[in-house]
Chains A and B, each alone.
Chain A
Amino acid sequence: MQMNVDKEAQAVDPLIFHLTGKQPGSGKDALAGKRPALLAAYADLTRLRYDFPLVLIEGKTAGTPVRSLSSVIDDLLQKIAPPGMESEQLRKMILRIEREIRTLAAASESGHLSELWDKVATRLEQADESFGKSVRIARAALEIDGAVLDCHAGMATGLITHLWSAVQEEKAQKFRATASRLAVKLADILRADYLRSPTGRSAESLSAAVGPAHQALFDFSAMSDLLPKASPREALSENRRRRIESALAVLKGQRFFAPAAGQPRPDQAAELYSFRFDNCAAAISAYRARLPELTELVKAMSIAELESDGAYIDGKHDVIFSGFDAGSLSPHDTALFPDYLITLGKDGASFDKAALMTALSSEAPLKILVNIDDLVEESPTGDGHIASDVRSAQLASLATGLGEVFVVQSASSNLYQLRERLQRGLSFGGPALFSVFSGVAAQAGSLPLYLSAAAAMQSRTFPAFSYDPSAGSDMASRFSLENNPQVDADWTVHAFEYADPQMQRIKQESAFTFVDFLVCDPRRHGHFVAVPRGFGIERMIPVAQWIAQPSDQSSDKVPYVVATGSDNVLFRAIVDERAISAARRCLETWHRLQEFGGVHNSHAERLLKREREIWEEQKRQELASLQPAAVAAPAVAAPASTPAQPAAATQPEVAAAPERSPDEAYIETERCSTCNECTQINDRMFTYNANKQAYIADIKAGTYAQLVEAAESCQLGIIHPGKPINKGEPGLEDLIKRAEPFL
């Protein structure tokens, strides 16, 4: 790759162009057919093994329901062609098939992995017979299948719909298991009642229950007479029977979940509900219309749970269930039922942003995907400045302000990396917003969608972030900037290598800025002009460096970006001030996100600075007080370097028993082993407490002699007779002597 300037671009004054954005004449597109220089290495994506295409796995999966084609092939290679000379040929064949499938997917060929594999394998086998047997072995070992999805315009919709379906299927399985269990339990209650009823115990019923064989050996009439005498006669109350039958009918007639594959729906059940929508108003309307039915279903399930657990108390629960309405449902309850998937902005369709924000604040289980195809546009004021598309690009930031909305923002190129977060959002109990930039608007250029989407993220134009209200109560727990490259930095910086005019290799680092993202979009090429011949290279400053210096600094220099075309020749273009201003605003937006994510947080940095100053001041004062004795003050160490003092080990304070007088009669109740020795001597004097451990309940209920006898018979020696109360009791002298060991 060589560096070059445009030899034709002589009429433009770079400084004037930078300041005004105007160039003489019609204004030639200096960047036509060019892309940012850092993207030069990605000329042909089909030759790279990266995240795309994806395989949307069908059927039950142990892990995520989506995988990249590369990871599927890697597993296959590990299984049947581990590294080594013996399997090198097979490895090459499989990797060739992978590349061909990637090429087909890039050309918008749709189909399942198995179909694309077979198509590619047949073609390759026709060209080279050696492909045959080995590839069939590999094909047989390929255990997973599903639609192959490349990073094209509908990718986000396809991926999120697939993940949503997986979450809904999981919910359906749980519901079916619970509903079936409850239905069986309720049916059992009714059946048991029938079997205990006179009809159930009639000779005919008993005879039918035994079956045709050996009927002659039984006297079913005698059995019918005998059975009622030997078992309880309580029958179900009419109220309970109606309650159980009603709950059973609701469970069987519900329309929220389809029955398991192969299971028929009850004949009387109406059509199942659909949960996919393309506008918020329709989804909200459907949710409202179905709410009474959902409430009835939750009520029926609650009744069934209580009934099956034997915990339904008519007098108490009847009142509650008679007033059970939509207000009784908790978000936890509604989260167990299907979520409403709303896809907005599909194929560039416009949508109602106000309705979107209303829907997000409704707390209904709505999962909303917003496809964004454009991130920059001319300012609505008509002054020629660039404006971020606040109507779409900032939706995710606005939604985080609603508090209880799960939010994910990402370029489509990064969605596979964020798959677990997407799944978490789809499983979240409340509303969720997925704001995805597809890169479609920039497609008028030569860049594949994957690259233009990735450029939006690399340039901080559309950073990835997520906000998860279920992760904790503070911003540090909820907000995440993970998956953004070089989160600590303003711009992402990448190694860049090229050859100079003398064909010497030059290595340097280059930042990828918002201005580079504009290079990807042919509609914004008016903000660039080629460097005219003779314009000194010392008068040009890279955009990142230009933005880093104060904006009011006057200079005769101009900012530039480096682009490249299909000829791989590097090309410098001067950038106008409007593009630079937009880049500054983009950087400020990124700084705000960094603060949310705890990176360079201004509050934390201020607090740290203040605490450091206080600490340093304290140390100075301490040193000053030691001044007469100290010869030279040692340097003050930073607070962070001070080792933390281990906390002194503290013994928990435990209440000790009060000291007893030897004259007092008492039992160490906590040590009583309930052996009944003392209670058998006098159960009015010695009684058990609530823990069934003995204590002296009434010392006057017995004699001192009984106290002494109990003390002697207690094997644990925990009865202390004390001194006699009745001084006139006979034989006291001897008793006091016997009591001495137990005082």
Chain B
Amino acid sequence: MTLEATHCLLRMYEEHHNLEDYQGGVPRWCTGCGDNAILAAMQRLCRDNDLRPEKTVFVSGIGCSSRLPHYMRTYGFHGIHGRALPVAEGIKMARPDLHVFVSTGDGDCCSIGAAHWIHAIRYNMNMTVVLHDNHVYGLTKKQVSPTSPRGLKSNTTPRGAYLEALNPLSVTLGVQNVSFVAQAVDWIPEVLYDILTAAFQHRGFSFVRVIQRCPEFLPKMFDPWLQDPQKTLLLTHERGLHLSANLAKVYKNQRAHDPLDLDRAREIASVEDPIAVGILYRNPEVPCYEDLRVSGQLRTADYVRTGLEAEFNKFTVWPAEQEKSKPAA
């Protein structure tokens, strides 16, 4: 039940923000780090959608990428390692009116947080999740992550990584209830912004893997892709990405892909070279968990207090009762 009078009044004094309104501090990331590109795209997204800072929250776990909430002038929650998604789900459940974004790294999401990641996809709660994937643990000075390529020498694998890299796209596309999967690279900012915008506009769990450079520990890893645009496959579609003329001139390797085609999306995800960039899958029909579990129950102060009392009582130790239950000496 929305009154038109209210709607008009809200629109009448709608605030319009500048990019600076979302900038929360000077990033401490290394020069050339892909996190900078993601941060810039996020701030543009907030500005262009006029997101109210007090209605926006960025959640992260641990890692270089997880410092992102510090640089956004919105609400933020720099959580614990691997637990960005449960925190974000809790926020969304309690405050469905907030715009929830999650920044997580390839270690944070695909290693210690993998269980949460799988179930977050299945729950399909309305949030935008960005996987900052630089293929390495950077904050702790170069250890292999689940997405590190086989053979990568690091502090924990001096003879090279033994295992094939985990493919976050294939994993995500294999989980029931998946509703939005896309891939971007930090060195094509125009597409990165478009994909993040599409992810934000999708109602559901929008998973965007951003392949990004780590200039400190893997400075040359993506040079072949940077130097040869043919090694990047841009996925276009009337329901997907639309390229500008300038970009289309540089990146000529393009393919039309319908984001509703899950089987084709899985095929594309399984190919690592060329790197596919675009929206692999989008299905707006998948229900969101918060909608399925929506309750008409009003959270009045009494209701919350009663619920909390009931929960606390489960764990309360009552000394008097303990004394009574002690066997007689």
Contacts and interface: CB of A to CB of B under 8 A. Distances in A.
Contacts of A180: 298
Interface string B57-80: 000000000000000000000000
A184 interface: yes
Interface string A319-359: 01000100011101100100000000000000000000000
Contacts of B308: none
B19 A691 contact: yes
B23 to A, nearest CB: 9
B246 to A, nearest CB: 5
A670 B247 contact: yes
Contact of A715 (B1, B32, B188, B296): B32
Contact of A670 (B13, B186, B226, B246): B246
A196 to B, nearest CB: 15
B1 A175 contact: yes
Nearest to B250: A671
Given A175-B1, A317-B9, A333-B3, A673 B245 contact: no
B259 interface: no
Interface stretch (B37-45, B99-107, B163-171): B37-45
Contacts of A316: 12-13
A673 B13 contact: no
A406 B21 CA distance: 49
A672 B10 CA distance: 36
A676 B36 contact: yes
A306 B296 CA distance: 21
Given A677-B31, A691-B19, A715-B226, A330 B5 contact: yes
Interface string B183-200: 000111110000000000
Contacts of B83: none
Contacts of A302: 3, 5-6, 9
A668 B188 CA distance: 11
Given A336-B1, A654-B244, A691-B19, A671 B190 contact: yes
Contacts of B32: 675-677, 715
A329 B213 CA distance: 56
Interface residues of B, number: 44
A680 B244 CA distance: 29
Contacts of A333: 3-5
A329 B6 CA distance: 11
Interface in A285-328: 298-299, 301-302, 305-306, 309-311, 313, 316-317, 320, 324, 328
A89 interface: no
A178 interface: yes
Contacts of A644: none
B329 interface: no
B299 interface: yes
B5 A298 contact: yes
A673 B31 contact: no
Interface string A668-709: 101111111100100000000011110000000000000000
B6 A301 contact: yes
A670 B10 contact: no
8 contacts: A184-B298, A332-B3, A654-B248, A656-B246, A670-B246, A671-B190, A690-B19, A715-B187
A174 B296 CA distance: 11
Contacts of A670: 189-190, 244, 246-247
B188 to A, nearest CB: 7
B238 to A, nearest CB: 11
Contacts of B118: none
Interface residues of A, number: 51
A298 B6 CA distance: 9
A657 B246 contact: yes
B298 A671 contact: no
Interface in A180-218: 180-181, 184, 187-188, 191
A614 interface: no
Given A184-B298, A184-B299, A320-B9, A654 B245 contact: yes
B113 interface: no
B34 interface: yes
Nearest to B8: A330
B54 interface: yes
B40 A692 contact: yes
B31 A693 contact: no
B244 A178 contact: no
Contacts of B245: 654-657
A716 interface: yes
A674 B40 contact: yes
Contacts of A324: 5
A674 B41 CA distance: 9
A329 B8 CA distance: 11
B31 A306 contact: no
Contacts of B13: 311, 313, 316-317
B189 A693 contact: yes
B186 A673 contact: yes
B328 interface: no
Interface in B291-319: 296, 298-301
Contact of A336 (B3, B188, B299): B3
Interface in A626-684: 654-657, 668, 670-677, 680
Q: Report which residue of B3, B12, B34, B298 has the largest number of chain A beta carbons within 10 angstroms of its beta carbon.
A: B3
A715 B298 contact: no
B36 A673 contact: yes
Contacts of B187: 671, 673, 715-716
Q: Report which residue of B32, B33, B43, B301 has the largest number of chain A beta carbons within 10 angstroms of its beta carbon.
A: B32
Contacts of A693: 40, 189
6 tightest Cβ-Cβ pairs between the two chains A and B:
A654-B245, A692-B40, A673-B37, A674-B40, A178-B1, A332-B4
A177 interface: yes
A175 B2 CA distance: 10
Given A184-B300, A670-B190, A674-B37, 17 more contacts: A177-B1, A299-B5, A302-B5, A305-B6, A309-B10, A330-B4, A330-B5, A673-B34, A673-B37, A674-B39, A691-B19, A691-B40, A691-B44, A692-B40, A693-B40, A715-B223, A715-B226
A715 B188 CA distance: 12
Interface in B209-237: 213, 215, 223, 226-227
A649 to B, nearest CB: 13
B3 A692 contact: no
A191 B301 contact: yes
A473 to B, nearest CB: 20
B326 interface: no
Given A184-B298, A336-B3, A311 B10 contact: yes
B80 to A, nearest CB: 24
Nearest to B32: A675
B12 to A, nearest CB: 8
B4 A676 contact: no
A177 B298 CA distance: 9
B101 to A, nearest CB: 17
B141 interface: no
B190 A692 contact: no
A332 B19 CA distance: 36
Nearest to B296: A177
B249 interface: yes
A191 B300 CA distance: 11
B134 to A, nearest CB: 13
Contacts of B19: 690-692
A430 B122 CA distance: 44
A124 B147 CA distance: 77
A564 to B, nearest CB: 57
B189 A671 contact: yes
A336 B1 CA distance: 7
B5 A674 contact: no
A674 B193 CA distance: 12
